[in-house]
Amino acid sequence: MPSISEREYREIEAANASHNTPVVLIHGLWLLPSSWANWVDFFTQAGYAPLTPDWPDDPETVEAARANPGVLAKKTLKQIADHTTEIVNALDRRPVLIGHSTGGLLAEMLAGQGLSAATVAIDPGIFRGVLPLPASVLKAAGPFLVNPLTRDRAITLTFDQFTYGWANALDDKEARKLYDNFHVAGSGLALMQMGNANLNPWTEAKVDTKSPDRGPLLFIDGEKDHTVPWAIANAAYKRQKRNPSVTEIVKMPNRGHSLTIDHAWQEVAETALDFVQRSV
């Protein structure tokens, strides 16, 4: 049964009617599609057709998500990937995929299936075979991963947890602003699937890094990211670099996990756009 919402249909129809290259922006845990608003304007002005898919059952607004956080629980990586694939398959042209955090992992998963003209994975989540677990990751996610109740819950970060994992490179005023404007609960199940990717041989956190149809791929990672530190992004890059297609990595100085939504988001978007323009 098709799971595409009316809002998503409108984006698909607009992208197909424009005849411009679609750019599918995939959000990660603890955000909603609306977090890409600045990126939508940026890529539209650059001559592309951006789309912002939901995860299954995503509320339309931050306020609605906070009023009913339970709806965000129990979403699996496969469910989200299947829904995003449905949208990609409804497009007339093979799109560019850009994802942040878990969205970056999903972009890699779809690229491995040959669904992407070019891919940008920003602070991407862990997949099976990416082994480093720096201390900052254990501090940010470890308490959730060792709690068996996490699996069935929608996890809301406290402001202190958000500041450490996302906004550690920002001042307190901007950290609070981002928390108030963007943060929503996230699927504990998806978090555990990534956290246990190297322990569960049947994990859904898998990427076909050898696919000859993968296409060009850029990793972007924040130098000060506590949630997806450089060691994790670089390990994923080294695995993807074995692919015959172009694989690049960029470290953004003095940036944390909030780099797609904070004051300097445009610097990241320009880095992604430069790669897309060179690749498609």
Per-residue pLDDT reduced to its tens digit, 158-217: 999 999 999 999 999 999 999 999 999 999 999 999 999 999 999 999 999 999 999 999
Which contacts of 159-167 are long-range, i.e. CB under 8 A and separated by 24 or more positions? 162/30, 164/139, 164/140, 164/226, 165/140, 165/141, 165/226, 165/227, 165/257, 166/30, 166/226, 166/227, 166/256, 166/257, 166/258, 167/256, 167/257, 167/258, 167/262
Matching residue, tokens 């990660």: 28
Whether 152 is covered by a domain: the verdict is: yes
Q: For the segment 206-245, what is each residue's pLDDT rounded down to a tens digit? A: 999 999 999 999 999 999 999 999 999 999 999 999 999 9
- Residue 1 belongs to some domain of the structure: no
> Measured in Å, how far apart are the chain's first and last C-alpha atoms?
32
Q: Return the CATH number at 220.
A: 3.40.50.1820
Q: Between 138 and 81, whose confidence is greater? A: 81
Show contacts of 53-59: CB within 8 Å, 24+ apart: 53/8, 53/24, 53/25, 53/26, 53/83, 53/84, 53/87, 54/5, 54/7, 54/8, 54/83, 55/27, 55/79, 55/80, 55/83, 55/187, 56/3, 56/80, 56/83, 58/32, 58/33, 59/32, 59/184
User: Residue 199 falls within a domain, yes or no?
Assistant: yes
Q: What is the pLDDT of residues 22-54, one digit of tens each?
A: 999 999 999 999 999 999 999 999 999 999 999
* pLDDT band at residue 145 using 50, 70 and 90 as cut-offs: confident
Domain range spanning residue 198?
A: 6-278
Q: Is the residue at 167 inside a domain?
A: yes
- Comparison of pLDDT for 135 and 253, the residue scoring more: 253
Predicted TM-score of the model (pTM):
0.97
Q: What is the mean pLDDT of residues 91-110?
A: 98
> How many residues are present in the chain?
280
Q: Could you tell me where the beta strands, DSSP code E, fall in the chain?
A: 22-26, 49-51, 96-100, 118-122, 154-155, 186-187, 217-222, 247-252
Distance in angstroms (rounded) separating the CA atoms of residues 187 and 185: 7
Total number of domains in the chain: 1
Residue 142: pLDDT band (50, 70, 90) is: confident
Q: What region, left, alpha or beta, does residue 252 occupy, with left being phi > 0 and alpha being psi -120 to 50 degrees?
A: beta
Average of per-residue pLDDT across 13-24: 98
Question: Rounded CA gap, 264 and 171, in Å?
Answer: 13
Is 248 contained in some domain?
yes
Predicted pLDDT at 137: 84
Give the mean pLDDT of the chain: 96
The confidence score (pLDDT) of residue 2 equals: 66
